[in-house]
Amino acid sequence: MVDYETRLSDAKGFHAKGLHRVKTIPEPSGQKFPVGSRVRIADKLPCYKSHFHSGVCATVEYTYAHAYGGDNIKSYSLDIDGIGSVSWYDEGELTEIQEEI
């Protein structure tokens, strides 16, 4: 049986590799919101995401495919204003915004 510390260490390593991929490879083609895009999260999310933040603005960090491979370019990790990094928001729950400087 794998203990908690081993699982935590493995998870941290997997996450670190994903963040390295985001820094070193181009984002996948077809990704709707490029890294760094400003988005607004929908006011209403599905009931299974009732614990997620909604109706707030965020910056796109990466898609699942960008960080971990595969073809899932519709699930996004976001840096939510005043909250921090939260994953995974679906593409349809996000709207790109243009902020005035």
Question: What's the pTM value of the predicted model, to 2 decimals?
Answer: 0.89
Query: pLDDT confidence of 99, banded at 50, 70, 90?
Result: confident
CATH number at residue 84: 2.30.30
Identify whether 23 is part of a domain.
Answer: yes
94, 70, 30, 34: CA torsion to nearest 10: 50
Contact 63, 76 (CB under 8 A): yes
Structural domains counted in the chain? 1
Identify whether 28 is part of a domain.
Answer: yes
Residue 101 and residue 89: Cα distance in Å, rounded?
A: 26
Which range marks the domain in which residue 73 is found? Answer: 4-96
Identify whether 80 is part of a domain.
Answer: yes
Identify whether 48 is part of a domain.
Answer: yes
Identify whether 10 is part of a domain.
Answer: yes
Residue 89 and residue 78: Cα distance in Å, rounded?
A: 8
Identify whether 44 is part of a domain.
Answer: yes
Mean pLDDT, residues 31-46 taken together: 96
Identify whether 101 is part of a domain.
Answer: no
- Confidence check: pLDDT of 101 > 60: no
**pLDDT, tens digit, 9 for 90 and up, residues 41-89:** 999 999 999 999 999 999 999 999 999 999 999 999 999 999 999 999 9
